[in-house]
Chain A
Amino acid sequence: MQEAMINKAKQLLSEGVVNRVIGWKRGEFAYDITPAVFENAEEIEKSFVYDDFTAANVSKYLVKESKKDGKILAFLKPCDTYSFNQLIKEHRIIRENVYIVGIPGGPKLDAEKIKAKGITGILGVKNENYTLKIDTIYGEETMPFYEAVLDKCASCKSKKHVIYDELIGEDGDTLDSNRFDMVEKLENMTAQERYDFWRSQLSKCIRCNACRNVCPACTCEKCVFDNPDSGIENKAPSDSFEENMFHIIRAFHVAGRCTDCGECSRVCPQNIPLHLLNRKFIKDINTFYGEFQAGEDITSLAPLNEFKQNDCEANIIHERGVE
């Protein structure tokens, strides 16, 4: 795949269709891959990479990149195309300035999950028939491929590209995913258990804002949490209230716009399952207002931007499920 992508990028560059390529750049190790913009064939030849660790969603970078001169080539995985579509819907990306090549997606790997197994000194990672052969300073280690898969890929919702100019490989379908399982499990707990669960998770938050900054739906030019005039700006969670508030507001602000790309949980340095908050909103929207997938198209109204006269009352929350 990497080879085909490199060739495609070089071809489009030489034909003058695009003048830049956004993709992923090889790092020091097997897994530390950085999203990067390439401007010529030599750079691409030297450091362009697409492998099991290229999980980063590059759609958000296109907000900035699509406003520069010339057209940029973006390789988008199926999940990235949803984010891209959503950004077009919100007029954040200039569509004409992006040439999209759809590429097959994951499952991608999470280096943290390999390290959590106690495997350290990682020099190289190879996937052989869904067994990972990990070359380390301390000798070779193996582990099952699926145990190292990123959470966001383990509950993949779609292999379908919802927008592209051209595809490498075949297009897939939306999947019958198990993505709401954990949300349901929490819903079936008692309020006290849920409270304890979220306290143990959210108290780990260091307020680095990585979840917000990586989120393709968070594109406000000045976030309320960065605005000293808002009265709620803060650089650290000084109280448990602020931990809750930040995460409620973060998830609420993207409710109905979140495509469930899972980047928030992927980047969290404290491994907080932040996507569960977003998924809770998605699940509620599906239940109360009908199935809705943000980013699926560029015309539909977001669920919080419309209403029906016979919508359920808010107090429905007080009557259902476990207290």
Chain B
Amino acid sequence: MLKISLDKLDKLFEAITASKTLYIPVDREDGAAEYRKYKSGMKLSNALNTVRSAKDFFFPQTENLVDFKMDGKNIEVIDIRKESEDFVIFGVRACDARSFTILDKVFLAEPVDSYYKNRREHGTVVTMACTRPAETCFCGTFGIDATSPEGDAACYSDGENLFIEAHNEKGQKFIDSISALLEDGDTAKLEETRSKTREILKKLPLANLSTDSFGGDKLNEYFNSDKWGELSESCLGCGTCTFVCPTCQCYDIKDFNTGHGIKRFRCWDSCMYSDFTKMAHGNPRLTQLERFRQRFMHKLVYFPANNNGEFGCVGCGRCLSKCPISMNIVKVMKALEVK
């Protein structure tokens, strides 16, 4: 496999930025990590996860869709779409990489979301295999191997060298663009690191969590479960879980009156909010119990029902560490599952 020494990462990043915009996870002052546009001198974060997931690059929290200009009784519709620039997201974890597959099912299905598609086509996802999974990780539950991440190209570290391999044409192009820096390397030590990580993955506290009890055919079993009341009673109704989630894809479309025109934009919505899916007749989910249930039913039942059994969760563990009251999908699955 091709490799580059970890000391030479900045050279690698410089080489990528020569032709494309590069985003890497970096450590913030407060100890959390976030993706930033690469500038010379930035250090790649070792953190397992960024607070905001990598979905921002394809499905940003807010984006303008179209502008309107009013002139008397005439309305001019201004298409503000433009071709996205080529960019690379480096260091995406296996869980986030899988989330793109899930988002693709939503946004690339007919009718295709052209805003999303445009970014997806111009973005190259370079993933990074995990070596130090956390207690909150449960990607294995959804059949994700943290030591073999998906993505256009994948990187693996053995502590000294970074190995890189392409998964598709886009990934190969990416590797070709930096091939001057790469050399052939022996993967013996890497294989050792990976098998060690696999052992750790097996020992994680959530390693035994199973999706066997869930799926598209379980609607009636869970929708009327009496457990929802207890599970949702302490929910604050904030949107933290949905906004840090790499697979949550609900959005709202709104108009903003600028005083001299209208900007139609979309922004992430959260099923935890009281005005989620509000329609002319009012809101279909009046209580927090119903809204809370919606989130988990969507991930564990509705999504698989519509997508050949694929679940709407990738086990990244963000909601586990970020929920203000620590109520999360794992607790819900454990409470509902039929043993």
Interface residues of A (CB under 8 A from B): 27-29, 31-37, 56, 61, 111-113, 115-118, 120-123, 136-138, 204, 206-210, 212-214, 226, 228, 233-238, 266-267, 269-271
Bound-state Cα–Cα, A213 to B328, Å: 17
Residues of B within 8 A of A117 (CB): 31
A to B CB contacts below 8 Å, 22 in the list: A31-B326, A32-B326, A61-B234, A112-B31, A113-B31, A116-B30, A120-B132, A121-B135, A122-B134, A206-B243, A209-B239, A210-B238, A210-B239, A213-B238, A213-B324, A214-B238, A235-B269, A236-B268, A237-B62, A267-B236, A271-B30, A271-B32
Per the bound structure, the CA–CA distance linking A50 and B51 in Å amounts to 28
User: Which 8 A/B pairs are nearest by Cβ-Cβ distance?
Assistant: A116-B31, A267-B324, A236-B267, A32-B326, A210-B238, A213-B236, A271-B30, A208-B239
Among A120, A204, A226, A269, chain B packs the most CB atoms within 10 A around the CB of: A269
Residues of A within 8 A of B262 (CB): none
Given the known interface contacts A137-B203, A206-B52, A214-B324, the answer about A269 and B273 at a Cβ–Cβ threshold of 8 Å is no
Q: Which of A36, A207, A233 contacts B239 (CB 8 A)?
A: A207
State which of B52, B268, B325, B328 has its C-beta within 8 Å of the C-beta of A235: B268
A137 touches B31 (CB 8 A): no
Distance, CA A136 to CA B135, complexed state (A): 8
By DSSP majority rule, is chain A's interface helix, strand, loop, or mixed? loop
Contact A120 B51, CB 8 Å, known A28-B330, A34-B325, A235-B252: no
Complex CA gap A212/B272 in Å reads 14
Do A27 and B326 form a contact, CB below 8 Å, given A121-B134, A235-B267?
Answer: yes
B275 within 8 A of A: yes
C-alpha spacing A122/B239, complex, angstroms: 26
**When chains A and B are docked, how far (Å) is the Cα of A228 from the Cα of B273?**
13
Closest to A119 in B: B134
B325 A35 Cβ-Cβ under 8 A: yes
Residues of chain B contacted by A204 (CB below 8 angstroms): 34
- Further pairs besides A29-B205, A210-B238, A234-B254: 16, Cβ < 8 Å: A27-B331, A32-B321, A32-B326, A36-B230, A112-B321, A116-B32, A117-B31, A120-B134, A123-B205, A206-B244, A214-B238, A226-B275, A234-B267, A235-B268, A235-B270, A235-B273
B237 within 8 A of A: yes
Least CB distance, B167 to chain A, in whole angstroms:
27
When each residue 316-334 of chain B gets 1 if its CB lies under 8 Å from chain A and 0 otherwise, what string results? 0000111011111011001
Interchain nearest-CB distance for B240 vs A (Å): 4
Q: Do A28 and B233 form a contact, CB below 8 Å, given A112-B31, A210-B238? A: no
Q: Which of B52, B325, B328, B331 contacts A56 (CB 8 A)?
A: B325
Query: In whole angstroms, how far apart are the Cα atoms of A48 and B51 in the complex?
Result: 30
Report the minimal beta-carbon distance from A21 to chain B, rounded to whole angstroms. 13
Whether B296 sits at the interface, judged by CB under 8 Å, is: no
Known: A137-B203, A206-B52, A209-B239. A238 touches B132 (CB 8 A): no
Nearest B residue to A36 via CB reads B234
Within 8 A of A (CB), among B30-49: 30-32, 34, 46, 48
Cβ of B1 within 8 Å of any chain A Cβ, yes or no, is no
Q: Are B274 and A208 in contact (CB under 8 A)?
A: no
Shortest distance between the CB of A206 and any CB in chain B (Å): 5
Within the assembled complex, what's the spacing in Å between the Cα atoms of A56 and B327? 13
B326 lies within 8 A of A269 (CB) = no
B52, B240, B265, B321: the one contacting A115 at CB < 8 Å is B321
Closest to B318 in A: A269
Q: In the assembled complex, which residues on chain B have CB atoms less than 8 Å from the CB atom of A113?
A: 31
Please tell me the number of chain B residues within 8 Å of chain A, measured between CB atoms: 54
Contact A121 B133 (CB under 8 A): yes
- On whether the beta carbons of A270 and B234 are closer than 8 Å, the reply is no
Whether A269 and B51, one on each chain, are in contact in the complex, defined by CB atoms closer than 8 angstroms, is yes
Is B320 a contact partner of A32 (Cβ separation < 8 A)?
A: yes
Minimal Cβ-Cβ distance residue in B for A120 = B134
Bound CA–CA A60/B203 (angstroms): 38
For residue B45, give the distance in angstroms from its CB to the closest CB of chain A.
Answer: 11
Q: Is B204 an interface residue (CB 8 A)?
A: yes
- A120/B135 contact (C-beta < 8 A), A208-B239, A210-B236, A213-B238 known: yes
- List residues of B (15-41) whose CB comes within 8 Å of A's CBs: 30-32, 34
Residue contact A137 to B233, C-beta cutoff 8 Å: no
B200 within 8 A of A: yes
Docked Cα-Cα span, A123 to B252, in Å, equals: 39
Given contacts A34-B326, A112-B321, contact A208 B61 (CB under 8 A): no
Q: Which residues of B are found within 8 Å of A271, using beta-carbon distances? A: 30-32
A213-B237 contact in complex given A208-B243, A238-B62, C-beta closer than 8 Å:
yes
Residue of B46, B200, B324 contacting most chain A CB atoms (<10 Å): B324
Q: List the B side residues contacting A212 at CB < 8 Å.
A: 238
In the complex, chain B residues whose CB is within 8 Å of the CB of A27:
326, 331
* B204–A137 touching, CB < 8 Å: yes
Query: Contact mask B130-151 → A, CB, 8 Å, 1/0?
Result: 0011111000000000000000
Tell me the B116-136 residues at the A interface (CB within 8 Å). Answer: 132-136
- List B290-339 residues whose CB lies under 8 Å from chain A: 320-322, 324-328, 330-331, 334
Contact of B200 among A32, A137, A238 (CB under 8 A): A137
Q: Could you mark each residue 46-62 of chain B with 1 if its beta carbon is under 8 Å from any beta carbon of chain A, else 0? A: 10100110000000011
CB pair B274–A226 under 8 Å, yes or no, is yes
> For the complex, is B223 an interface residue (Cβ under 8 Å from A)?
no
Contacts of B278 in A (CB 8 A): 228
One of A34, A37, A61, A270 near B51 (C-beta < 8 A): A270
